[in-house]
A and B are shown apart, each in its own frame.
Chain A
Amino acid sequence: MGDTEQSPGVSTLSEPLITGSLPGSSNKHGITRIPFFPLGLPHRLILFALLFAAEWSPITRWVHKGHGGGALLQVAIAFSSLLLALSYFRSKDAFQRLSNDVRKTPIRWGLLALHLVALAAFLGLSAISSGNITFAYAITALWFATGAAAIVLAGWALVPSALALEFVRTTGYAWVYALGAAILAWRAVVSTALWNGAVWNPAIDLSWKPATDLTFNLVKGLLHLFLSQVVADRATMTIGSPKFSVIILPWCAGFEGTALMLVFSVAWLAYFRREFRFPHALMLVPAGMVVIWLANALRITALILIGVAGAPQVAEGGFHSQAGWIAFNCVALSFAILTRHMPWFASDRLGSYRVAADAPAIHNPTAAYLTPFLAILAAAMISRAASGGFEWLYPLRFVAAAAMLWFFRSKYRELDWRFGGFSVMAGGAVFGLWLGLDFMAGAHSSSTLAAGLATLPGPARITWLVFRTIAAVVTVPMAEELAFRGFLIRRLTSADFESLSPRHFTYVAVLVSSVAFGLLHGDRWLAGTLAGLIYAVAFLRRGRIGDAVVAHATTNALLAACVLLGGKWDLW
């Protein structure tokens, strides 16, 4: 991979772009300088939503103790999504023009700092309580004012007020429809009480009954193919065998999968509408929903059969939690793949892509960077689905990643696998950070892993630990660094990521890839995000993937040593 011209807004670690440059200004060499963050309106709105969620969620949980914040957040998300969708389709040209104007305007960090001040005041006022009514009214008024100021300042920092007002004007009355629909949707969710895990509501059951009955009948029919004796009590929705049975609750009847498939198929057809023939392609939407509904019936049938076969813990544990996602991923991916191989649905313009689409995956650079990581994720879903608690099939993750790394080995020879002492130190720093944050957060549960290992015979236990350790030190660092640092940072910096030097990046790309890396670490999302940032520095310092892999491997090796030598199973 050779160096190319630097993309707009792209920095290198040793040569940061001048942040104060004006939009579109040129120097004597005629080089156009682009603002530090050339983000359009959609990107800024996404940033605003992420900032809002990142601040509001902990406030709701720890300051307001779960009262009040969740509903506002739900309405805000629904309102923003609907307003964007409605206004985009209503006046696409105006939206595009405004987005270009916003792109030329830098983010105002001073206003973001003021936003933090207002947020701090809001939090301080949240902690004050008073018996004096007059004083309490004043506190409440100030509390609302600081909360509103915090939101307005954050929005103002990202989108200038004049452009925001123009955006609102171009949407006409779309905001009224969006707000009404968002409130109605929120009320519907609250009153049905189904998505809130509340009690069964007989008044609402009637509307779900036919759908639940259909799933019940499907499962019953499928079970008769495999079992000689089927227990099916429609009154309690209990179904299975005398040995093992389950209750089909309304929210297990296929609605969630169907809703997700509806969103996925509509969004897919809308985004890639130039590649489809309409109205033919619209048939794919109900088809996808029917398939995922059937897949849910198969899931319940399989769950019952696993329980009947003598593994009720697997049926109720791993399989129950993973099978829904496995089914959705399979159906959604099949939808995406099959739609381009069916001429009746595809636009004629798709024809030019077909030859490349059928090319071997080994020539696809994205596949080389992502497939080992995706193999780990897929193997993890399968191994968890086959587990009742302890993930005894963990070695599958190692085998899947190793197979993909071997398959693309010729591609990896082009990368720079050298590393220096800095990467080892960076890995050690992440290890210290990881332990420190773990200590501050309190102990994580380790009972499942330790107890599961205790049930294995000696050779099986040693084999499992060997695979777990090698995976942690070799395949996981390689797969994750290829995906997050080698691919994601560069892909977020430029669509033509392969021609971009590994040392070129934008700060947004580094931040987004690190946050994504952190989010995949569950409870340890903060430690994961900081680790991602440090590995990114190791990678970008010399543009060598080897540095990032060694830093990551060092951290994981030290953690493995803590687990194996110190018995700290919670670190795995």
Chain B
Amino acid sequence: MKLLAMMLLLIGVSGLALAQVRTPEIDPGSAGSAIALLSGALLVIRANRKK
């Protein structure tokens, strides 16, 4: 749940900061899959730790 909250925070920050950018360094259009990839990878790492 901590991880989920953290990802929501990241999405919020990136959404707030990056909305309507024309030439992005971090493309808002790819934010969904990029954050999903990062969240999933972190879940896998943390799950390995909790075993």
Given A74-B16, A249-B23, A333-B45, 4 other A-B residues pairs in contact with their CB atoms under 8 A: A195-B20, A197-B22, A328-B26, A370-B43
B10 to chain A, nearest CB (A): 6
Task: State how many angstroms separate the Cβ of B20 from the closest Cβ of chain A.
Answer: 5
Whether the pair A254, B47 counts as a contact (CB closer than 8 A) is no
Interface code A187-208, partner B: CB below 8 Å = 1, 0 otherwise? 0010000011100000000000
**A287-333 interface with B by 8 A CB criterion:** 296, 299, 320-322, 324-325, 328-329, 332-333
Contacts of B27 in A (CB 8 A): 320-322, 324-325
Q: Are A367 and B47 in contact (CB under 8 A)?
A: yes
- CB-based contact A328/B45 at 8 Å: no
Closest 9 CB pairs of A and B: A366-B47, A325-B34, A321-B27, A356-B51, A377-B37, A324-B26, A197-B22, A256-B26, A374-B40
Cα distance, A116 to B28, chains bound together (Å): 31
B1-24 near A? 1/0 per residue, CB < 8 Å: 011011011101111111111111
Contact A296–B25 (Cβ < 8 Å): yes
Distance between A339 CB and nearest chain B CB, rounded to angstroms:
11
Q: Is the CB of B5 within 8 A of A356?
A: no
- Given the known interface contacts A77-B16, A520-B32, the answer about A365 and B47 at a Cβ–Cβ threshold of 8 Å is yes
Does A435 sit at the interface, judged by CB under 8 A?
Answer: no
Q: Mark A356-374, 1 if CB is under 8 A from B, else 0.
A: 1101010111110011011
Q: How far is the CA of A138 from the CA of B14 in the complex (A)?
A: 39
Within the complex, the shortest CB–CB distance from A396 to chain B, in Å, comes to 15
Residues of B within 8 A of A325 (CB): 26-27, 30-31, 34
Distance (Å) between the CB of A565 and the closest chain B CB? 29
B37 → chain A closest CB, angstroms: 4
Report Cα–Cα, A474/B5, bound state, in Å. 33
**Interface flag for A337 (CB, 8 Å):** yes
Within the complex, the shortest CB–CB distance from B36 to chain A, in Å, comes to 6
Inter-chain contact B18/A324, CB cutoff 8 Å? no
14 sampled A-B residue pairs with Cβ under 8 A? A195-B18, A195-B19, A197-B22, A256-B24, A260-B13, A320-B27, A321-B30, A325-B30, A364-B44, A364-B51, A366-B48, A377-B40, A483-B40, A520-B33
Which of A42, A321, A359 meets B24, CB within 8 Å? A321
Are A332 and B38 in touch, CB under 8 angstroms? yes
Q: Across the interface, which residues of A come within 8 angstroms of B45, CB to CB?
A: 333, 336-337
Q: Which residues of A lie under 8 Å from residue B18 when comparing CB positions?
A: 195, 256
Closest partner residue, chain A, to B9 (CB atom)? A267
Closest CB-CB distance, A267 to chain B, in whole Å? 5
- Contact indicator B2/A271 (Cβ below 8 Å): yes
Q: Which residues of B contact A378 (CB under 8 A)?
A: 37
From B24, B25, B41, contact of A333 by CB (8 A):
B41
Q: Shortest beta-carbon distance, A195 to chain B, in Å? A: 6
Contact size class for B?
35 or more
* A195-B21 contact, Cβ under 8 Å, with A321-B27, A333-B41: yes
User: Which of A77, A252, A253, A366: most chain B CB closer than 10 A?
Assistant: A366
**Residue in B closest to A380 when the chains form the complex, CB atoms:** B33
Q: How many residues of A contact B (CB 8 A)?
A: 65
Most central of B3, B15, B19, B47 by chain A CB within 10 Å: B47
Binding site for A on B (CB under 8 A): 2-3, 5-6, 8-10, 12-27, 29-34, 36-38, 40-45, 47-51
Closest to B8 in A: A46
Cα distance A439–B49 when bound, in Å? 47
Q: How far is the CB of B8 from chain A (nearest CB, A)?
A: 7
* Cβ–Cβ contact A46 & B5, under 8 A: yes
Chain A contacts of B30 at CB under 8 A? 321-322, 325, 381, 384
In residues 442-492 of chain A, which contact B (Cβ within 8 Å)?
Answer: 483
Q: A353 within 8 Å of B by Cβ? A: yes
B47 contacts which chain A residues (CB < 8 A)? 364-367
State which of B5, B15, B31, B44 has its C-beta within 8 Å of the C-beta of A370: B44
When distances are taken between beta carbons in the complex, the residues of chain B under 8 Å from A46 are 5, 8
B residues in contact with A516, CB < 8 Å: 36
CA gap between A363 and B21 in the complex, in Å: 43
Contact A366 B44, CB 8 Å, known A77-B16, A259-B17, A520-B32? yes
Cβ of A564 to closest chain B Cβ, rounded Å: 25
Q: Are A196 and B16 in contact (CB under 8 A)?
A: no
Compute how far the CA of A299 lies from the CA of B25 in the bound complex, rounded to whole angstroms. 9
Asked whether B40 lies within 8 Å of A357 as measured between CB atoms, the reply is no
Instruction: Give the residues in chain A near B42, CB-CB below 8 Å.
Output: 333, 336
Which residues of chain A are near B41, meaning CB under 8 Å?
Answer: 329, 333, 374
Tell me the residues in window 35-89 of chain A with beta carbons closer than 8 Å to chain B beta carbons: 42, 46, 70, 74, 77-78, 81
Chain A, residue nearest B2 (CB): A271
CB distance from B9 to the nearest CB of A (A): 6
- Partner of A264 from B5, B10, B40 at Cβ < 8 Å: B10
Closest partner residue, chain A, to B48 (CB atom):
A364
